[in-house]
Amino acid sequence: EVQLLESGGGLVEPGGSLRLSCEASGFMFSDYAMSWVRQAPGKGLEWVSGISGSGQSTYYADSVKGRFTISRDNSKNTVYLQMNSLRAEDTAVYYCARVGDQYCAGGSCFYSDYWGQGILVTVSS
Amino acid sequence: SYELTQPPSVSVSPGLTASISCSGDKLGSDYVSWYQQKPGQSPVLVIYQDDKRPSGIPERFSASNSGNTATLTISGTQAMDEADYYCQAWGSGVVFGGGTKLTVL
């Protein structure tokens, strides 16, 4: 059974940093790209970042480029999202998601077939 | 940046067919996915690669993609289908539509 478990969320002041983790189980982690998707309170889904199975290819939304960094440790079956220079508008539930197309490294194969339960990040003073 | 446009809301009576559109420039030349999200829950993939249903998704969910518009169709809509629906494509990164609230009344 595929499982994705996010951790690391919480309350942080504007300008602060936070690192989210997503531990995966139930599949060959290194074969699959991963995404982070967020949802601000009462708003729609917003893709944040993605990373290929090998970690060699990374992608970012314009809204987080230069502030957020995605990475993965395939030995720990874990993907990370390092968030720096946080702003109030980064407040959201952050979801970790598996890219459904095995060996997809980017492009139109980048859909998500399994999602974590989400973790709340609140940026406020 | 690439944009996908969905109607904010769609209403349908139980047992009838609901259609939710998603429009974007030359969308038909790319794969589209659709997600269902119920309040307080994580999104669920209901359609991928334009018209494929993941295991466990009922046959009443179908979709098409041509030209500038993709369409999610729910036949014989049930009360349990009431949810927010999002389309998704790729445009130098994943792009989501703004979402459509489906009301079954």
What are the tens digits of pLDDT across the range A39-63? 999 999 999 999 999 999 999 999 9
Q: pLDDT band at residue A116, thresholds of 50, 70 and 90?
A: very high
The reply to whether residue B42 touches residue A59, judged by beta carbons under 8 angstroms, is no
CA-wise closest residue to B21 among B38, B4, B41 = B4
Tokens of A51: 């990373």
Burial A40-55 (b: 16+ CB within 10 A, else e): eeeeebbbbbbbbbeb
Q: Is the pLDDT of residue A109 over 90?
A: no
| pLDDT higher at A105 or B67 | B67
Q: Which letter does DSSP use for residue B68 in this model?
A: T
B22, A60, A81, A7: CA torsion to nearest 10: 0
B96 touches A: beta carbon within 8 Å: yes
Q: Which of B85, B92, B94 to mutate to test binding with chain A, by most A CBs within 10 Å of its CB?
A: B94
Nearest CA in chain A to B42: A117
Beta-carbon contacts of A125 under 8 Å, excluding residues fewer than 6 positions away, are A13, A14
| Residue A75 confidence (pLDDT) above 90 | yes
d(CA B12, CA A113): 27
User: How does pLDDT run across B4-53, given as a tens digit for each residue?
Assistant: 999 999 999 999 999 999 999 999 999 999 999 999 999 999 999 999 99
Contact B59, B53 (CB under 8 A): yes
Across the interface, whether the CB atoms of B93 and A108 are under 8 A apart is answered no
pLDDT given at position B91? 85
Q: Which residues of A touch B95 (CB under 8 A)?
A: 47
Task: State pLDDT tens for residues B44-62.
Answer: 999 999 999 999 999 999 9
Answer whether residue A107 shows pLDDT above 90: no
Distance of alpha carbon A8 from alpha carbon A25, whole angstroms: 18
pLDDT of residue A108: 83
